[in-house]
Amino acid sequence: MSRLDDLRDRIASREARIGVIGLGYVGLPLALEFARKGFHVTGIDVNDTKVETLRKGASYIEDVPSAAVKELRDRGVFEATSDFKALARCDVIHVCVPTPLTRAKDPDVSHMASAMEEIRKRLRAGQLIVLGSTTYPGTTHELFVPLLESTGLRVGVDFALAFAPERIDPANRKFSVHEVPKVVGGETPLCGELAALCYRAIFDRVVPVSSTQSAEMVKLLENTFRAINIGLVNEIALMCDRLHLDVWEVIEAAATKPYGFMKFLPGPGLGGHCIPVDPTYLSWKMKSLNFTARFIELATDINSHMPEHVALRVGDILNEDRLAVNGSRVLVLGAAYKANVSDVRESPALDVMRELTHKGAEVSYHDPHVPELDLDGRSLKSVDLTDEVLSGSDLVLIVTDHEAVDLERVVAKAARVFDTRNATKGVRQGREKIRLL
């Protein structure tokens, strides 16, 4: 029996030891799902604070209850460490590290490369390595097969290598981790088979594809689809602004069509790790093949200029009452990139705050999920949403529609409200104060 045949048996019997590198909003939920199903899981992260929090049985991710961490820790099926030596004991290793963009908007796979180098140092026959970090098509095959095979071990013979893109949607209460189908592509058919077997232990449905390149492309298609359609509806919003039409009314009416239309919503810009980043990975890859991804570049241009549009609209609204942006007190509601999360990565709120500050506005913010943030080297703290703060602001700008914010009270106390999310649609009193995107 080969070592990979033995691995198949160990996965099926749940005796295989699971390792997860990167314990963020993707890696930690994945690690806990495997632990719940009876696997012994070792989570590895370079952030000592995260590791220590998990060792205490607590969570730092809003979607993951501390009670779940404590229970699995106490059962002895989950442990956290910052020591990569633990990889030597793992039969299956999942890589869930960030893949951001560089300042030049090029893919940054340095975190993934560092993780794979730690794996290479300890690679042994009979292991399965699964990459989950979003990246451009060809990364697994072109970069990491040669790296791992430099050990003398052969992919598909001595060890298995697969790609299975993450599909986590923070704060999504409709779909839990195991309910979202898992796409898996292997470097060889055997690699794909072993990865699929592993994921079937925790996911309701596994969707095999023919290669790691196909699996990488699946994730980019999913988020490019969203980015382009958001770009389209953002442009529709700009058109409606010029035509003096309510874009939200137009969208809601169009959405009543039972076929041929899918509802997307405009906003102040794109945020988070995926939608603003993933299409750029694909566009970058295609440029290397002398192919211009025109839809992606156009949508990126539209979406990236929405914060500028918001700042201009703030000026227009203040001008209605003969107020200048320069010197006006603007309270921004929401710093996170989406509702009910604390993640500020690529958040359009930060770009809006920069634009308004550049124009001379006195900008403050309130976010129940983000107590403080760094804005170009300046440390800002969330202000308490008191009646005095609301009434003392020349304009309240809703950028993120957190459920914890009492918008009835905001509209009642504020002099002017600019709502970029249509979050105030249910507010009846004070509608005359509200301007929509």
Which residues form the catalytic set? 274
* Residues facing 183 on adjacent strands: 207
CA angle 280, 285, 286 (to 5 degrees): 100
N-terminal to C-terminal alpha carbon distance within the chain: 64
Cα–Cα distance, 17 to 197 (Å, whole number): 14
Contact yes or no for 419/268 (Cβ under 8 A): no
For 164, left (φ over 0), alpha (ψ -120 to 50), or beta?
Answer: beta
Contact yes or no for 123/157 (Cβ under 8 A): no
Quickly tell me which residue has 């609204």 as its tokens: 317
Amino acid at 352: V
Amino acid at 260: G
Neighbouring residues of 188: CB distance < 8 A, sequence distance ≥ 6? 155, 156, 160
In this structure, how many other beta carbons lie within 10 angstroms of the beta carbon of residue 320? 9
Contact yes or no for 31/78 (Cβ under 8 A): yes
Burial letters 180-189, b for 16+ CB under 10 A, else e? bebbbbbbbe
3-state secondary structure of 41: strand
